[in-house]
Structure 1
Amino acid sequence: MFLPHQLVGNFFDRQFDRDIRRHFFKGMEFAAPAGDPGWFGPGSAVWHVHSHTQALVFGLQCAAFLERLDPSIYWMGVHHSRLVKPESRDDPMPQIDPKGALVRLGHSVAFFIGTAYGSTETAERLALAVRSMHHTIKGTRPDGARYDADDPEWLRWNYATVVWGLATAHELYHPNPLRGKELDRYYGEFVRVGHALGGTDLPTTKAETLDCLKSYLPRLAVTYGTAMATGPDLPLPQSALNWAVRDTMPPWAKGLIQHRDPIIVERTARRALVWSVINGIHVASGPVREFEQAKARVAGGLDPELAPHTVPTYQPGSDPVRSREDIEESFARA
């Protein structure tokens, strides 16, 4: 007989399978080869942080919100992703495509689960796919400024937004969060992903990451995308989620978006509510099956030829030249 929490867990697993796994996990391997630890392996801070899928998804939303404060990143998304409707990509007030936004989220979730505890080959293939897409993202903003997703300074700041978003969501909403030096261990480990995507001179601690983010402040602004996500008349539950995302922002970012923290009692109560929702879903659904497969894969006997974890092999400038059409076709075949 199924208990109520098992029924709820099965529901969320079926929903994840329908919306994410079957569309975005194609070609990803978690159960084999036996003994392959992947880029991180058991006992790593990354395995601990990324195994809480709901906090991971929330952290990606926090990172995306912060990224929108960079006009170049915002226009990269408008011009080169499915985030907005194709007919409005040159419109200064583009229309969000809800289905496209879900596709973008699906690819992001798959990437950060796959690189965390997928096999070494899976992590390498995912990083190559993202790098290949970045190589094609070059263009001009409506104000005439040019952007290039391979620009080292952009890669450094973009990396910082992601690792900060994931780590901050973990700090606030994981039932057993890493603190202090243990949290810095996550920052230090996760830099492997940044290097695999072509980043250089990346921050490796929480303090370095916050300094990196703030150093970009002279280049930032409230973009149209940010304004649409911070309005006072957003419907529920979007308004509650939006508050929780804005609540995580560094003080200087809160100043940009005119976000003011409520009194401590109200803020604590709001965070407690968000914590209950995120962890209620996690308790009901449990870790995604890929995490369990990864644990079984490594328990199958650590390959004596491998270290406790493998290391990304990418060398800057070594990628083949591929068109966007070729890249998307390879996704479809996976």
Structure 2
Amino acid sequence: MLMPHQIVERSLQDRFDQNVRKHYFRGMEFAGPAGDPGWFGPGSAVWHVHSHLEALVFGLQCAAYIERLDPSIYWMGMHHSRLVQRDEKTGVARPYIDPAGAAVRLGHSIAFFIGTAYGSTATAERLAQTVRAMHHTIKGTRPDGATYDADDPDWLRWNYATVVWGLATAHEMYHPNPLRGRKLDRYYGEFIRVGHALGGTDLPTTKAETLECLQSYLPRLAVTHGAAMATGPNLPMPQAAIDWAIRDTMPKWAKQLIQHRDPNIVERTARRTAVWSVINGLHTAAGAIPEFRQAQARVKGGTTVPHTLPTHVPGTDPVRTRDEVEHSFA
């Protein structure tokens, strides 16, 4: 007979299986080949950080929030993403989140960051190639006449910095056993393999470098319509509470940009404690993800190298249409 906590764990696992794993983890290999360390391998900081799925998902939301302060990224989403609602007749995007599209985006993101962390080398390479292929199709012009290109090195650097900052900061604040100081810098240094695999260059490798990188983009940033609509008073509960927790992770200059003010230390501590309890309560109930356990078993007998490195050479990807890329996600 299952105990109450086991029933909750089974329910959470079943929901994740049906809503995410079933649709977005297809074709990924975690159990083999034996001895393949993948891009990171046992003992890596990435294996430790990404093993806490709930903090990882929260970190992706933190990354997405700060990312869209770049107007070009906002318009990339408006013109190319299924994340936003579109007029049924004209197909023109409206500045509102489409729930179904948001679920698909989140599913793909979770699959990518779990797959590149724990998957076999071949799995990680395939995932990176698919994301690069999607980036190759995202080019256009903003309403103000400025052009954007998802392959632009400056855009890739900004995008990478927002992602690694969001994931690392969520881990630092809400993981029950967080890496700090030099140990956390190990994560920044390891994760750069993902950025390079997606075509990034001149990427930050420590927390301090990442903060410096993010702030250097401040002259280009703005509070876009999408960022304003997804902030604070515009959201019902519990979204507003989640929104506060996301904004709480941002650097001081970014908070100033969106006019976010930290509450007094007592209230801030109480709010963070509540968020910590929710995130870790869900993690305790759900348990470790099977992909992590499979990867551990895959290298139980040892590996020939601590990790493998991405093999992507810029400019060598085959040309694929957006329909072909989306089909490969299916």
TM-score range, shorter chain: over 0.9
How far apart, CA to CA, are the structure 2 residues paired with 1:161 and 1:141? 21
How far apart, CA to CA, are the structure 2 residues paired with 1:284 and 1:53? 12
How far apart, CA to CA, are the structure 1 residues paired with 2:103 and 2:163? 18
CA contact (8 A) 1:79 1:89 kept: no
How far apart, CA to CA, are the structure 2 residues paired with 1:233 and 1:28? 39
Q: Report how far residue 90 of structure 1 moved.
A: 4.1
How far apart, CA to CA, are the structure 2 residues paired with 1:95 and 1:60? 19
How far apart, CA to CA, are the structure 2 residues paired with 1:96 and 1:268? 30
CA contact (8 A) 1:30 1:118 kept: yes
Structure 2 counterpart of 1:242: 243
CA contact (8 A) 2:116 2:127 kept: yes
Q: Report how far residue 79 of structure 1 moved.
A: 1.2
Structure 2 counterpart of 1:319: 317
- Is 1:111 the counterpart of 2:112? The answer is yes
* Partner SS, residue 147 of structure 1: strand
Q: Report how far residue 309 of structure 1 moved.
A: 0.5
**More off after superposition, 270-279 vs 283-292:** 283-292
CA contact (8 A) 1:39 1:310 kept: yes
CA contact (8 A) 1:71 1:220 kept: yes
Query: Any idea what the Cα deviations from partners look like across 1:202-246, whole Å, max 9, x if unmatched?
Result: 000000000000000000000011001114142111011000001
Once superposed, what is the RMSD of the aligned Cα atoms? 1.1
Q: Report how far residue 6 of structure 1 moved.
A: 1.2
Query: Any idea what the Cα deviations from partners look like across 1:291-326, whole Å, max 9, x if unmatched?
Result: 111111111x2343xx11011000111111111111
Structure 1 counterpart of 2:23: 23
Structure 1 runs of 4+ off > 6 angstroms?
none
Letter in 2 for 1:86: R
Query: Any idea what the Cα deviations from partners look like across 1:233-284, whole Å, max 9, x if unmatched?
Result: 4211101100000111110110111100000000000000000000000011
CA contact (8 A) 1:9 1:286 kept: yes
Structure 2 counterpart of 1:123: 124
* Partner SS, residue 95 of structure 1: strand
The count of aligned residue pairs is 328
Q: What is the percent sequence identity of the aligned residues?
A: 75
Structure 2 counterpart of 1:150: 151
Unpaired stretches in structure 2, ≥5 consecutive residues? none
Query: Any idea what the Cα deviations from partners look like across 1:114-168, whole Å, max 9, x if unmatched?
Result: 0001110000000000000000000011111100000001100100000000000
Query: Any idea what the Cα deviations from partners look like across 1:16-36, whole Å, max 9, x if unmatched?
Result: 001100111010110110111
CA contact (8 A) 1:115 1:126 kept: yes
- Is 1:86 the counterpart of 2:86? The answer is yes
CA contact (8 A) 2:137 2:321 kept: yes
* Partner SS, residue 54 of structure 1: helix
* Partner SS, residue 72 of structure 1: helix
Structure 2 counterpart of 1:163: 164
How far apart, CA to CA, are the structure 2 residues paired with 1:54 and 1:303? 29
Letter in 2 for 1:80: H
Query: Any idea what the Cα deviations from partners look like across 1:80-109, whole Å, max 9, x if unmatched?
Result: 111012328645x52321100110011000
How far apart, CA to CA, are the structure 2 residues paired with 1:329 and 1:283? 35
Letter in 2 for 1:255: Q
CA contact (8 A) 1:65 1:226 kept: yes
Structure 1 counterpart of 2:213: 212
